[in-house]
Amino acid sequence: MTGQTLFFPFTHITRDQRDIVSTFFQEFSCLPPEYLESAQPQALEYIEWAKIHKGNEHNLKALLKGTPYFTSDTHISSIKSQIKGVQDKEEKVQKSAKEIFENDLLFLTMAGLSDEQYEQIDLELKALDKSRETLLKELRGIENSLEASKDEKAAAPRDSGEVMTKERVSAWFNCMGAQNALNPDGKTNLFVTTSPAVFDYFETNCSDVVNALDIDQIKVHENKCKVKIEWQHQLKKYLMKAIKGEGNQKEDLPEAMDECRRSGQIKMGLFSGGMINLLLNDSDKHMAVCLINLKR
């Protein structure tokens, strides 16, 4: 039975990510934003602290070394106390499940804010590039401008998954697991990402990896194409068959038989053992992870 299509491990979905995922899948789920609201005030406090103490990053790095989840004592006063050495560095407190959940939410909130800021920077840079291209057309004429830029390719979107990959994946699965969102009652969830770094992390850290699908060039539909939804439905069925080892990869692949010009790539791995046991809290389950992207 078919479960959810879960986009991970991000909490801020960029325009590029939304465009990619919505091209391949009609519907997808992610960590509900309302879960992150409770951690936002604490995250904003941390940001304010960082602004006040800009230039004192050395002490901050020493404080946070080995604690990627920002620990439960992230209030400004607590951070100041730790830097001053007031608290005992050797003190170890057993965290409750609630504390771990809150810490993970805080981490994901901070990661999401960072991703949002970087996206804004990228959008501003793209706007500058567009202005530059317009200026070139005006100065050299349309024909010469196109000739000058014909070999230039659009820059690939920033891969946020390269930053603290392990921590992002662990925190995301912990939070989803705490909400019972990873137990589909016999159904097979499809975990989808646009991050090559995240997919590589699974390939590196799982004891059993099966390459279920690897298609470098697949024609996809434009967003306004009238047959897009049916194609997406057929693609989902195709992926579920690939997970079960059924069908023929080449013959059963749904084709976009129209004038749509977009194309993408899709890779799917079946992962089990190693860290999968911890992420799913089950030693007998495997995970289907799908890496998707659009050709630029």
Confidence band, pLDDT 50/70/90 cuts, at residue 28? very high
Which sign does the torsion angle of CA 232, 201, 157, 171 carry? positive
Answer whether residue 61 shows pLDDT above 70.
no
| Residue among 163, 61, 153, 156 at smallest CA distance from 117 | 163
Helix H or strand E encompassing 122:
helix 97-140
Mean of pLDDT values over 288-293: 96
Confidence band, pLDDT 50/70/90 cuts, at residue 71? very low
Residue 78 is predicted with a pLDDT of 52
Distance CA 57, CA 50 (A): 8
Buried/exposed code over 63-90 (b: 16+ C-beta within 10 A; e: otherwise): eeeeeebbbbebeeeebeebeeeeeeee
Distance CA 168, CA 162 (A): 10
Average model confidence (pLDDT) across the chain: 79
Distance CA 173, CA 179 (A): 10
Confidence band, pLDDT 50/70/90 cuts, at residue 47? confident
* Percent of the chain topping pLDDT 90: 35
How many Cβ atoms sit within 10 Å of the Cβ of residue 183?
15
Residue 55 is predicted with a pLDDT of 59
Task: Give the count of alpha carbons within 13 A of 111, CB side only.
Answer: 30
- Sheet of strand 208-219: strand arrangement: 2-7, 188-193, 286-294, 263-272, 208-219
Radius of gyration of the chain (CA): 22
Residue 94 is predicted with a pLDDT of 59
Residue 180 is predicted with a pLDDT of 80
- Condensed to tens digits (0 to 9), the pLDDT of residues 142-182 reads 555 444 444 455 566 789 999 999 999 999 999 998 888 78
Distance CA 254, CA 270 (A): 21
Parallel, antiparallel, or unpaired: how do β-strands 286-294 and 2-7 relate? unpaired
